Amino acid sequence: MKTFESILLWIVTAAVAVLFVLHFTSNHASSKGARSVTGKADSSSAAQQLRVAYVDLDTIQKYYEYFKLKNDEIERDKQRIDNEIQGQLGKLEKDRVDFVKRGQSITQAEAEQFQQEYQARYQQIGQRQQTLQGEHLERQAKAIEDIQKRINEYLKEYNKDGKYQFIFSTQEGNPTLYYKDTAFNITPEVVKGLNEAYGKTKKQ
């Protein structure tokens, strides 16, 4: 589901950025202390010490098993709603056609009554659709929150040794990085770790 995927990827992008900017900021004080000894910063040394990596969000979306599970659940939920509403609309249209087939035998009073009932049923279907869509959006939001939490927790664990100061994100059509050296692509490790963590929760 494109909407679900787009929202989630946007949130994951923000989460990754915030997590590691905060990490870098927490280490900033010590680096300032080192510079104060000499009175100025050594730019070449700072560049050498900068540790960065990136994750490909499209790859996470494609290979993270839990993401695919929740995405399938959301898609089935949407299809269930569509089927219910289309079924009710189909029944309403069939009743209208059957009524019209009576032709000239329909009295003025019967026509007016049917018109009122038809409009009332149509409005009820519309209200039902709004209710179901609202519930669907709530379930989608919970799924996104759950996935975001799992990725956040894993990234904190992944970088608990402070190996990277920055981890950026990238995806097709909306790159955060315009140039990427694949030597710094940690996505396979992240996806592997996410799936292993999800596998452990399935066994519990």
Confidence at residue 15, expressed as pLDDT on a 0 to 100 scale: 52
Six-digit token string for 136: 């669907």
Distance between CA 113 and CA 107 in Å, rounded? Answer: 10
170 - beta bridge partners?
56
Question: How remote is the C-alpha of 94 from its chain's centroid?
Answer: 39
Count of structural domains, the chain: 1
Confidence at residue 152, expressed as pLDDT on a 0 to 100 scale: 81
Question: How remote is the C-alpha of 202 from its chain's centroid?
Answer: 21
Query: What Å distances lie between residue 31 and 23, 42, 88, 109, CA to CA?
Result: 13, 11, 66, 86
Low-confidence ranges of the chain (pLDDT < 70): 1-48, 175-181, 204
Look at residues 71, 66, 69 and name the one whose alpha carbon lies nearest to residue 194.
Answer: 66
Confidence at residue 85, expressed as pLDDT on a 0 to 100 scale: 97
Confidence at residue 23, expressed as pLDDT on a 0 to 100 scale: 47
Confidence at residue 14, expressed as pLDDT on a 0 to 100 scale: 53
CA angle 5, 172, 140 (to 5 degrees): 5
Give yes or no for a contact between 167 and 31, defined as CB atoms under 8 angstroms apart.
Answer: no
The domain in which residue 197 lies consists of 2-203
Distance between CA 127 and CA 67 in Å, rounded? Answer: 31
Look at residues 2, 40, 26, 55 and name the one whose alpha carbon lies nearest to residue 165.
Answer: 26
Confidence at residue 165, expressed as pLDDT on a 0 to 100 scale: 78
Q: What is the C-alpha end-to-end distance of the chain, expressed in Å?
A: 29
92 Cβ partners below 8 Å, 6+ apart?
Answer: 118, 121, 122, 125
Confidence at residue 54, expressed as pLDDT on a 0 to 100 scale: 84
Query: What Å distances lie between residue 98 and 26, 102, 124, CA to CA?
Result: 72, 7, 20
53 - beta bridge partners?
167
